[in-house]
């Protein structure tokens, strides 16, 4: 009798297990696209000593990795981060490596998702595009005065990609666009309010 009960329970478990398994293949995710930005090294930050005329410049393009998706347009959103960081002399002279000191605040918070305070600055539809933004424009876009900017404030330019098939990508997997490890895609750029003497390290 016990054997019959065990066999019945075993067969029931098999039926339940089979019912829980999917027989359908997992569909492949549709191909997408990302923004690619290359900063002009000669205009890679906002000079804190000349905020009236200083500008930041980069070349913007799109990449669909040969999947035929096509980039229709790229929205450039802007936000201001004021981390209130003071860099010590050892931070500016040491660079990267063991024994170096690092700021305690975040100059470019992650992840670079759009937040409520970000503002749409411009939308570009011709690529590659040479993009230039003055400190005064950046300040006006987020509703502050250029005179209120201080050393180590940062502006974040975040990219939202529109593809030819009507989709809009405003978030990306960190294997393609994570701001820190050199992936081909760029989720954002970080513009430092800085000077050459205190320039700590380039940030994307």
Please state, as a whole number, how many other Cβ atoms lie within 10 Å of the Cβ of residue 198. 16
Global pTM value: 0.74
Residue 162 lies inside a defined structural domain of this protein: yes
Q: Is residue 46 part of a domain?
A: yes
Per-residue pLDDT tens digits of the chain, which is 204 residues long: 545 444 554 445 555 555 555 567 777 667 788 899 989 988 999 999 999 999 999 999 998 888 888 999 999 999 998 766 565 555 554 544 445 555 556 666 666 788 888 999 999 999 999 999 999 999 999 999 999 998 888 899 999 999 999 999 887 766 666 555 556 677 888 898 888 765 545 444
Q: For residue 128, is it within any domain?
A: yes
- Residue 201 resides in a domain: no
**CATH classification at residue 83:** 2.60.40.10
pLDDT of residue 138: 96
Position 97 scores a pLDDT of: 47
Question: For residue 68, what pLDDT is reported?
Answer: 86
> What confidence score (pLDDT) does residue 172 get?
72
Q: Residue 117 belongs to what domain range?
A: 32-194
The domain tally of the chain equals: 1
Residue 110 belongs to a domain: yes
Is residue 64 a part of any domain in this protein?
yes
């Amino acid at each position: 009798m016990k054997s019959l009960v065990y066999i019945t329970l075993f067969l029931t478990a098999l039926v339940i297990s089979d019912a829980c398994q999917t027989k359908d293949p997992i569909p492949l995710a549709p191909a997408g696209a990302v923004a690619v930005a290359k900063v002009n090294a000669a205009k890679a930050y906002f000079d804190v000593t000349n905020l009236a005329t200083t500008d930041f410049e980069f070349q913007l393009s799109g990449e669909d990795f040969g999947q035929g998706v096509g980039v229709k347009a790229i929205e450039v959103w802007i936000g201001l981060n004021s981390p209130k960081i003071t860099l010590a002399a050892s931070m500016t002279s040491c660079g990267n490596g063991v024994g170096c000191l690092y700021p305690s605040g975040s100059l470019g918070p992650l992840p670079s998702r759009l937040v409520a305070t970000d503002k749409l600055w411009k939308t570009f539809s011709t690529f590659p595009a040479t993009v230039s933004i003055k400190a005064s424009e950046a300040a006006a876009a987020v509703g502050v005065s250029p005179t209120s900017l201080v050393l180590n404030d940062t502006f974040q330019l975040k990219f939202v990609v529109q593809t030819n098939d009507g989709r809009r990508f405003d978030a990306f997997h960190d294997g393609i666009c994570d701001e820190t490890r050199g992936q081909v895609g760029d989720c954002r750029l970080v513009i430092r309010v800085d000077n050459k003497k205190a320039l700590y390290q380039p940030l994307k």
